[in-house]
Amino acid sequence: YSDTLEKMQEFTAQRTSHTSDEVWFLEHEPVYTYGIKTTKDDIPENTQLPVLKSDRGGKITFHGHGQLVVYPLLDLKRRSIQAREFISKFQDAIHRSLRGYQSNLKINNDDPGIYCENKKLVSFGLKITKKGTYHGASINVSMDLTPWNEVTICGNDQTEAIDLKKLGCNNSLNEIRQSVQKNLAEGFK
């Protein structure tokens, strides 16, 4: 995770008006990361997993095997898109991608994510600078959900994590990635 964070920061810092936009798809080793709104009380004390500070929005989250992470590195100025419009388009693209696998998913803007009832399937945490965007979304596809039990998910102790597999979707990470890639391309033409 640390290497990816550093690469995203470097990419964004070195971006020029001619730098092509990119979307990175990956899967992190098991790690907790916390954003700028995390308090000391949100951080697990006795975990065996690394806990790393991030410069994204949001609170603490878990990344691990079986989770598709989507990092859009876009120049909003060149695209003439305001931050709120970008966030909305990004969330909508992820939502459209997943509705094909599970129809009753909802975007929650109060606790940024995509939910199936009160269970969180997708977490959003973004960083938007004058030079561009980075960080993004993590989609629980088929993962061990146990580490989620060590944290208060995004600061809400009523929230539980879920993955697509528990919702009856047996599609691979690669199939989900292709769907997200297609919808992001359509949403950010």
Nearest to 134 by CA among 2, 34, 4: 4
Residue 122, SS3 per DSSP: strand
**Which one is catalytic: 73, 139, 154, 176?**
154
Residue 185, SS3 per DSSP: helix
Distance CA 92, CA 86 (A): 10
169 is catalytic: no
Instruction: Classify each residue of 1-40 as buried b or exposed e, where b means 16 or more C-beta atoms within 10 Å of its C-beta.
Output: beebbeebeebbeebeeeeeeebebebeebbbbbbeebee
Q: Which residues are catalytic?
A: 154
